[in-house]
Amino acid sequence: MEKSTIYTKTGDKGKTSLVGGKRVDKTHIRLDAYGTVDELNSFVGLLVCGLMDTELKDFLLYVQNKLFVVGSYLATEAEAQSEKSAVIITEKDIEALETMMDKIDAELPKLTRFILPGGSESAARAHICRTVCRRAERNVYRVADEYPIHEMILIFLNRLSDFFFLTARIESQKTGKEMYWEQK
């Protein structure tokens, strides 16, 4: 078997291919969307590296796999999407997120003040995931303004950012303390 190379030189002039073969500018909104989902997935990997909780780590691996298929879906031109792509995120995925969020939230004190990102390294990483997830969600909504996007993907990203907020809070509780905004 011949070794493949990572570079193709086909993108040297500011164009790239979507899955399906359509050539688009590298500034195309789909690239912003799936690029941000990929960025989020990388930050989730960084978050996992600093966690001790096996259940949370396993759940984040599940999230990473879901983000990978969301990114693939976004990288595929609408005409090339299969019927199977309609079920990449399901109601069960949303329920899994909500169940994990409810479990984490039950362990936390009631939130009475605004929280600053930080408190511990793992909490800060979770806050980065939260903010990148919000950006990914906004970018996917921009795609949805022009192309059909399955609603479950939008719901998933919305819930996921809330999940990262709760993850940041629980990590602050475990390894440090929550930092609160103070009006001066």
More confident residue, 84 or 153: 153
Mean pLDDT, the chain, integer:
87
Other C-beta atoms within 10 Å of 12: how many?
8
Any domain includes 63: yes
Could you give the CA distance from residue 67 to residue 50 in angstroms, rounded to a whole number? 20
Which whole number is the average pLDDT over 113-123? 91
Domain holding 152, by residue range, is 15-75+84-180
In a domain, 58, yes or no: yes
Q: Give the per-residue pLDDT at 89.
A: 93
Q: Which of 150, 154, 162, 22 is nearest to 99 (CA)?
A: 162
The answer to the question of residue 9 being in a domain is no
Domain presence at residue 31: yes
**165/159 Cα distance (integer angstroms):** 10
Q: Is residue 6 part of a domain?
A: no
**Range from 27-36, 66-75, 146-155 carrying the lowest mean pLDDT:** 27-36
Asked if the structure places residue 97 within a domain, the reply is yes
Q: CA nearest 135: which of 156, 162, 150, 157?
A: 157
The pTM assigned to this predicted structure is 0.88
Domain count of the fold of the chain: 1
Q: Is 71 part of a structural domain of the chain? A: yes
Q: Residue 101 sits in a domain of what CATH number?
A: 1.20.1200.10
DSSP the chain: -PPP-S--STTTTSEEE-BTS-EEETT-HHHHHHHHHHHHHHHHHHHHHT---HHHHHHHHHHHHHHHHHHHHHTB-GGG--GGGGGSS-HHHHHHHHHHHHHHHHTSPPP-SPEES-SSHHHHHHHHHHHHHHHHHHHHHHHHHHS---HHHHHHHHHHHHHHHHHHHHHHHHHS--EE----
Phi and psi (nearest 5°) for 76? -105, 125
pLDDT tens per residue, range 56-115: 999 999 999 999 999 989 987 765 555 555 568 999 999 999 999 999 999 999 989 899
